[in-house]
Structure 1
Amino acid sequence: MSDTRVDVNVNFNDMNDRIRFEIRRTINALTLKLQRTVQEDMLTGQRLNVQSGRLRGSISSRVEEGKDWIEGTVGAGGALVPYAFVHEFGLTGSVEIKAHLRMIKQAFGKSITPTQVNVKAHSRKVNLRERRYMRDSLDLIAKIVPRNIDAAIERGLNGQ
């Protein structure tokens, strides 16, 4: 699974619960904005044309916090989409293909009655370019993070 993180370190104490609330709310919004950017802008045609929707559906976000930290995380991948990493970072090398059945409808360029044939296990060379759907989305959102955190602190200080 590939994770992209936006971390902001701020010292919190009992006197600034309002600031903490505003920063948490801002990090929630920024994390969701990053998730939407990946799903809607990058994976719906701009970088990858949707085929099954599994990669787009695997994009998830969460916000966690401790006593003196708040962290927003957006991740992709999982058991159903092991190819998420390959699309993000590319792959040049050899891939092992398992033995499988294949339905053929043509032989020597002529149509035939559909028939299943066994395909033996083999390796195949691949050269897939990186598509940077996660990292480029983070680069876009990272430009607005400092300004939004500063505004959250201001709102917390002003009690708005």
Structure 2
Amino acid sequence: MVDSVDIRIHLNEENNRVKIEIRRTITALTLKLQRVIQEDMLSGQRLKVQSGRLRGSLVSRVEETGGLIEGIVSAGGAHVKYAFIHEFGLSGSLGIKEHLRHIKQVFGKPITPRDVLVKAHSRTVKFKERRFMRDSLDEIAKIVPKNIDKAIERGLNG
């Protein structure tokens, strides 16, 4: 299982062309990872699309701090809190808050619609992990070293 890909290269000012090529390559690989997650994993293969919010929450960026160039793809956020559960699964007890439920039938027989109070309770959940992000990273990680080597060659031959 790959959670990240880490390749360290020390560059000085003379190798600026190499750095530019590596940054371009990391940007392209980061976008490719985002595309694989959105198109290959979240368009019905791993998860059935309901609203498209999870697929739309994917964000990619490339950050450069000091000598480190880092490509990041993230999902979820405030509007898609369930992304973590889909990725890693969940097995445990969930607390359900007290709420009103609108019912139209009782024991399979129709009744006059009304609201009933459902008291707070807990429920056991076993939710299987779907690994839409980690499996995509595993797939892209296979091509990273070769792409970085080519970027270095382009920078040196530049």
TM-score (structure 1 length as normaliser): 0.91
In the alignment, the residues of structure 2 paired with residue 106 and residue 95 of structure 1 have an alpha-carbon distance, to the nearest angstrom, of: 26
In the alignment, the residues of structure 2 paired with residue 6 and residue 111 of structure 1 have an alpha-carbon distance, to the nearest angstrom, of: 58
Which residue of the partner structure matches residue 133 of structure 1?
132
CA contact (8 A) 1:9 1:70 kept: no
> What percentage of aligned pairs have identical amino acids?
70
Report deviation, 1:5.
4.2
Alignment of 1:41-56 (within 5 A): 41-56=40-55
Name the SS of the counterpart of 1:46 in structure 2: coil
CA contact (8 A) 1:31 1:62 kept: yes
> Structure 1: which 5+ residue stretches go unaligned?
none
Alignment of 1:103-122 (within 5 A): 103-122=102-121
Which residue of the partner structure matches residue 28 of structure 2?
29
In the alignment, the residues of structure 1 paired with residue 112 and residue 52 of structure 2 have an alpha-carbon distance, to the nearest angstrom, of: 32
CA deviation digits over 1:82-132, x for unaligned, max 9? 111111111111001112222222221023343222221110000011110
Which residue of the partner structure matches residue 90 of structure 1?
89
Q: Which amino acid counterpart does residue 57 of structure 2 have in structure 1?
A: S
Task: Extract structure 1 runs of 4+ deviating beyond 4 A.
Answer: none
In the alignment, the residues of structure 2 paired with residue 94 and residue 34 of structure 1 have an alpha-carbon distance, to the nearest angstrom, of: 33
Report deviation, 1:9.
1.7
1:8 paired with 2:3, answer no
Name the SS of the counterpart of 1:10 in structure 2: coil
Larger fraction in strand? 1
Which residue of the partner structure matches residue 142 of structure 1?
141
In the alignment, the residues of structure 1 paired with residue 149 and residue 12 of structure 2 have an alpha-carbon distance, to the nearest angstrom, of: 18
In the alignment, the residues of structure 2 paired with residue 113 and residue 51 of structure 1 have an alpha-carbon distance, to the nearest angstrom, of: 31
- CA RMSD after TM alignment: 1.4
In the alignment, the residues of structure 2 paired with residue 89 and residue 96 of structure 1 have an alpha-carbon distance, to the nearest angstrom, of: 19
> Structure 2: which 5+ residue stretches go unaligned?
none
In the alignment, the residues of structure 2 paired with residue 138 and residue 144 of structure 1 have an alpha-carbon distance, to the nearest angstrom, of: 10
Q: Which amino acid counterpart does residue 98 of structure 1 have in structure 2?
A: K
